A and B are shown apart, each in its own frame.
Chain A
Amino acid sequence: MMPVIRLQHAVFDPVAECAKLELGDAGAVASFTGLVRGEGGLVALELEHYPAMTEEALKRIAADAAGRWALAGLTIVHRVGRMAPGERIVFVGAASRHRGDAINAMHFVIDWLKTDAPFWKREEFADGHSAWVEAREGDAVQREKWSDRTKKGCRGAAPLSGK
């Protein structure tokens, strides 16, 4: 399984990304799409990153997910640059034979993406001021909860029925 990882300015189509994941040897596809929240008079979000490092960081997260769960496919698309409220920022999609692996891998990747990839968001508001988004402590907590689960434990449970 070769993860698909893309960094891009352009918008992406989550439906098309999911359809590609269905083409593999999958019985389940789980996906997450992150959007720009337009709260507090936000007019734009600027996403900065560390180009020489970002793709490698995403590859590492993807490889970690692939080592923990049996995946038929994994796609990470992260946009950079300027975005308007309501626009899509990030897509994570995972495909597997049974749903648990896809759902867990998707959840793991989005949690780790928040804490382990070099992106920074700056918000611009209608009154002209702008501010860098502060990291949330909850993000680190979300990430850590995956450390408690052994690699085998996540896929060890027998399915109760079907997928």
Chain B
Amino acid sequence: MAIDLLYFAWIREAIGCDGETVDPPDNVTTAAELIDWLSARGDGYADAFADKGRIRVAIDQEFAGLEKPLAGAREVALFPPVTGG
């Protein structure tokens, strides 16, 4: 099923766009698996996701752990740890 991806901060810069719509295969069921699948798409992706410990996720605009099932998610955002305030 199609998922809208959003990228922020240095992940956006490494990949070279602020988002895209993807249609991952059925065996991609969690955010971590989505990241692995994206990493195989090319250098920018591999660079952006080289250290999964530095990746944070929001699924349908809710912060989520990397192991959270995507379960029909419409929008997944991938970004570094937040640094506001």
Contact = CB atoms under 8 A, between A and B. Distances in A.
Interface of A: 34, 47-50, 52-53, 56, 78, 89-90, 110, 113-122, 132-135
Interface of B: 6, 8-10, 58, 61, 63, 75, 77, 79-85
Contacts of A90: 84-85
Contacts of B83: 114, 119-121, 132-135
A120 B80 contact: yes
Contacts, number: 66
Given A48-B9, A114-B84, 9 more contacts: A49-B84, A50-B77, A113-B85, A118-B84, A120-B9, A121-B83, A132-B83, A134-B81, A134-B83
Given A48-B8, A120-B9, A78 B84 contact: yes
B85 A135 contact: no
B85 A118 contact: no
Contact of A117 (B6, B8, B84): B84
21 contacts: A34-B85, A48-B9, A49-B84, A50-B6, A52-B61, A53-B61, A53-B77, A90-B85, A113-B85, A114-B84, A115-B82, A116-B63, A116-B82, A117-B85, A120-B83, A120-B84, A121-B84, A132-B9, A133-B83, A135-B80, A135-B82
Nearest to A92: B85
Contacts of B80: 120, 132, 135
B17 to A, nearest CB: 14
Contacts of A116: 63, 82
Nearest to B61: A53
B82 A122 contact: no
Contacts of B10: 132
A56 B9 contact: no
A117 B9 contact: no
B57 to A, nearest CB: 11
B78 to A, nearest CB: 11
Given A50-B6, A50-B8, A120 B82 contact: yes
A50 B84 contact: no
